[in-house]
């Protein structure tokens, strides 16, 4: 449960800051275009058929951002083009099926002739599609998909009804027809045809009617399909196909994730092979496109990392699990730093680093649990922030990585309500809160000092870290006094007096430095003390403790009239 929570935080962190980075980049480009009219004029002058604006001509208003069509619109547009041809192909396919059924029922053709007829008919339709696609892209594509589908259905009938072919030979024949369609998509540059060929390749194993499940054979076939897809991507640059190929592999892996399978250990090396192929493909794709949209590569990279992590978690031996995850973590983190150094792009870095951090969390969860796991997560998150800053020299990235502490914070709730506080002060939950408070407050102070060195204004994240860290110290003091003192009224009195002293010290310091933020912080702390006294302790404390507490805190608050004020 802790691992799923931590991975969920990492995914949320990656998604939020990828979106934030893209919005910031769009804002910078828009601001640059608005402040540089000469560049706008130059861009307009390069548009064919448009006269460049004169000096007296007002600048045209910025065009509204147009959103691309959604998937239903794209499908409708595809269906609308040559719709009669597509409808005819569908009717022809249905009629061919009925003709074949009728011929089978009346024994017009023997079993071998029936299968041969189907294969020959599919091959002829494929040839017709290849000839037609040269002049009519959509028409030729429809014929090619129709021909390959006819071959797939014919081989399925041969296996299902007559027992012709073996599962391997049946899969090989179907793959040849699909590969022919994929080759046509590359030659004639039809992206939709390549996607359809990948879908047909994914359907083919279901049509072999294998008497028993041979998952090694199946995953070997998937390796070939993935390599073929990568070949198409390398030639055409259609990086969406990489995501589609990954989804195909995940689809066939899902049964081994959801149910206990005796083939897991045999298929784990295949998972490593898939992960290595997708990792190299995505990394090279991002490095090749230093500018422009890398969203498909980012999606494939993140999905690949989670796919690999799940396979290791369900299939690797327990004694080797943490070591295997750590090895792959080094690979992904190295890829993150390499990409950032060469491209200076934040989005790929966040994804690869997020996968690496998820693997660190998984390796830690494989060895630890409870309070030890929370402490380990805290230390790892703090070290990641500092190491990222030392290597990248980018304070913004390091600040954003500090959001990884959300995971340990959520896990620390169990330490706050632990029964161990009813036994004593020094125990594992005490150190959970202490180390987490030190990590949060220490990172906030580090960011604050580094921000002052580069002479920029501290942002909200630094303030949040400092306040959150101090809150953990106050909470730790309260729980420790409640656990260490028998007299609970005395414990409350000591805690409130210490809170008051801290609040007054910060309030006076804020007045000397004229810091509005510190003054608000001190006011909130003192307000908590007063509200606690008026609405809680006035009813729960014994009369003697109530008198002493109110007198001491009241005297401390009144002392501000004589401390830190300038003479008027």
pLDDT the model gives residue 45: 43
Q: Rounded mean pLDDT of 367-376?
A: 86
User: Which range among 64-78, 340-354, 494-508 shows the weakest confidence by mean pLDDT?
Assistant: 64-78
Angstrom distance (rounded) from CA 120 to CA 116:
6
- Residue 277 resides in a domain: no
Tokens standing for residue 250: 């995940």
Burial 225-253 (b: 16+ CB within 10 A, else e): bbebbbebbeeeebbebbbbbbebbbebb
Domain tally, the chain? 2
Long-range contacts of 223-230 (CB under 8 A, 24+ apart): 223/270, 223/273, 223/274, 223/277, 224/175, 225/175, 225/198, 225/201, 226/274, 226/277, 226/278, 227/277, 228/179, 228/182, 228/201, 229/198, 230/277, 230/281
More confident residue, 568 or 121: 121
Q: Is the pLDDT of residue 35 over 90?
A: no
Cα dihedral angle (112, 113, 119, 123), rounded to 10 degrees?
A: 150
- Residue 504 resides in a domain: yes
- How do residues 436-445 score in pLDDT, each as one tens digit? 999 999 999 9
| 150, 185, 212 - which closes a domain | 212
Angstrom distance (rounded) from CA 526 to CA 523:
5
pLDDT the model gives residue 511: 79
Burial 404-441 (b: 16+ CB within 10 A, else e): bbbbbbbbbeebeebebbeeeeeeebbbbbebbbebbb
- Residue 105 resides in a domain: yes
pLDDT class of 149 with cuts at 50, 70, 90:
very high
> Which burial class, exposed, middle or buried, applies to 147 when counting CB atoms under 10 A from its CB (0-12, 13-18, 19+)?
buried
* Predicted TM-score of the model (pTM): 0.66
Q: Which position has the token pair 């259609």?
A: 238
- How do residues 107-135 score in pLDDT, each as one tens digit? 666 778 778 888 888 899 899 899 988 88
Q: Rounded mean pLDDT of 194-216?
A: 89
Q: Which position has the token pair 């090694």?
A: 216
Select from 332, 245, 320 the least CA-distant residue to 286.
Answer: 332
pLDDT the model gives residue 530: 81
pLDDT the model gives residue 23: 55
The answer to whether 466 and 473 have CB atoms below 8 angstroms apart is no
Q: Rounded mean pLDDT of 153-164?
A: 85
The answer to whether 183 and 150 have CB atoms below 8 angstroms apart is no
> Which burial class, exposed, middle or buried, applies to 38 when counting CB atoms under 10 A from its CB (0-12, 13-18, 19+)?
exposed
Which letter does DSSP use for residue 49 in this model? T
Query: Helices in 368-487 by DSSP H: which ranges?
Result: 371-392, 395-401, 406-411, 413-416, 428-453, 460-484
Q: Which position has the token pair 């892996």?
A: 253
- Residue 406 resides in a domain: no
Length of the chain: 568
Q: Is the pLDDT of residue 158 over 80?
A: yes
- Residue 566 resides in a domain: yes
Q: Is the pLDDT of residue 67 over 80?
A: no
pLDDT the model gives residue 42: 46
- Residue 289 resides in a domain: no
- Residue 199 resides in a domain: yes
The answer to whether 205 and 171 have CB atoms below 8 angstroms apart is yes
Rounded to the nearest 10 degrees, the angle between the axes of helix 83-105 and helix 111-132 is: 170
pLDDT the model gives residue 368: 80
- Residue 416 resides in a domain: no
| 154, 177, 212 - which closes a domain | 212
The answer to whether 243 and 303 have CB atoms below 8 angstroms apart is yes
The answer to whether 139 and 128 have CB atoms below 8 angstroms apart is no
**Could you tell me the end-to-end alpha-carbon distance of the chain, in angstroms, rounded to an integer?**
62
Angstrom distance (rounded) from CA 495 to CA 522:
16
- How do residues 280-336 score in pLDDT, each as one tens digit? 988 888 777 766 677 788 888 889 989 999 999 889 888 888 889 888 888 888 888
Q: Which position has the token pair 């009804």?
A: 161
| 212, 237, 269 - which closes a domain | 212
- How do residues 85-114 score in pLDDT, each as one tens digit? 667 777 876 776 676 667 666 666 677 877
- The continuous run of DSSP H or E covering 394 comes out as none
Query: Three-state SS string across 64-108, please?
Result: CCCCCCCHHHHHHHHHHCCHHHHHHHHHHHHHHHHHHHHHHHCCC
The answer to whether 188 and 236 have CB atoms below 8 angstroms apart is no
The answer to whether 351 and 409 have CB atoms below 8 angstroms apart is no
- Domain extent, residue 546, equals 486-568
pLDDT the model gives residue 533: 74
The answer to whether 529 and 496 have CB atoms below 8 angstroms apart is yes
Angstrom distance (rounded) from CA 133 to CA 183:
12
């Amino acid at each position: 449960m802790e691992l799923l929570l931590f991975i969920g935080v990492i995914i949320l962190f990656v998604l939020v800051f990828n979106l934030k980075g893209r919005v910031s980049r769009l804002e910078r480009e828009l601001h640059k275009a608005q402040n540089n009219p000469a560049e706008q004029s130059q861009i307009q002058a390069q548009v064919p058929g448009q006269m460049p604006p004169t000096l007296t001509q007002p600048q045209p208003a910025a065009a509204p951002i147009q959103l691309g069509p959604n998937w239903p619109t794209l499908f409708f547009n595809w269906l609308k083009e040559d719709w009669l041809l597509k409808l005819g192909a569908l009717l022809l396919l249905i009629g061919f099926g009925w003709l074949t059924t009728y011929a089978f029922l009346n024994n017009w053709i023997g079993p071998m002739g029936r299968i041969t007829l189907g294969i020959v008919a599919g091959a002829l339709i494929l040839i017709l599609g290849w000839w037609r696609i040269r002049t009519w892209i959509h028409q030729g594509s429809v014929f090619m998909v129709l021909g390959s589908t006819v071959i797939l259905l014919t081989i399925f009938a041969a296996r299902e009804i007559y027992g012709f072919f073996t599962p391997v030979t049946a899969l090989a024949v179907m793959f040849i027809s699909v590969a022919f369609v994929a080759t046509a998509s590359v030659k004639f540059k039809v992206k939709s045809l390549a996607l359809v060929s990948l879908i047909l390749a994914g359907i083919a194993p279901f049509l072999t009617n294998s008497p028993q499940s041979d998952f090694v054979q199946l995953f070997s076939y998937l390796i070939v399909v993935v390599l073929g897809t990568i070949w198409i991507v390398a030639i055409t640059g259609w990086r969406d196909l990489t995501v589609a190929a990954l989804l195909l592999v995940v689809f066939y892996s899902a049964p081994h994730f959801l149910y206990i399978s005796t083939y897991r250990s045999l298929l784990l090396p295949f998972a490593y092979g898939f992960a290595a192929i997708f990792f190299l493909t995505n990394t090279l794709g991002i490095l090749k496109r230093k500018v422009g949209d890398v969203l498909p590569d980012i999606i494939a990279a993140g999905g690949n990392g989670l796919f690999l992590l799940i396979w290791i978690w369900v299939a690797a031996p327990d004694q080797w699990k943490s070591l295997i995850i750590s090895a792959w973590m080094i690979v992904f983190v190295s890829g993150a730093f390499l990409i950032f150094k060469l491209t200076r792009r934040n989005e790929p870095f966040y994804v690869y680093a997020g996968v690496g951090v998820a693997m660190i969390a998984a390796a830690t969860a494989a060895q630890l649990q409870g309070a030890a796991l929370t402490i380990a997560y805290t230390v790892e998150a703090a070290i990641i922030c500092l190491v990222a800053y030392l290597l990248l020299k980018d304070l913004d990235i390091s600040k954003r990585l500090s959001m990884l502490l959300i995971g340990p914070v959520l896990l620390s709730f169990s330490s706050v309500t632990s029964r161990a506080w009813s036994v004593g002060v020094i125990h594992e939950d005490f150190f959970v809160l202490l180390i987490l408070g030190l990590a949060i407050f220490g990172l906030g102070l580090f960011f604050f000092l580094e921000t002052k060195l580069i002479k920029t204004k501290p942002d909200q994240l630094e303030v949040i870290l400092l306040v959150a860290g101090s809150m953990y110290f106050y909470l730790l003091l309260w729980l420790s006094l409640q656990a260490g003192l028998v007299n609970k009224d005395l414990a409350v009195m000591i805690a409130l007096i210490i809170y008051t002293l801290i609040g007054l010290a910060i309030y006076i310091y804020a007045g000397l430095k004229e810091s509005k933020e510190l003054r608000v912080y001190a006011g909130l702390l003192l307000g908590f003390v007063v509200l606690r006294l008026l609405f809680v302790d006035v009813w729960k404390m014994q009369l003697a403790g109530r008198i002493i507490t109110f007198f001491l805190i009241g005297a401390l608050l009144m002392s501000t009239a004589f401390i830190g004020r300038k003479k008027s």
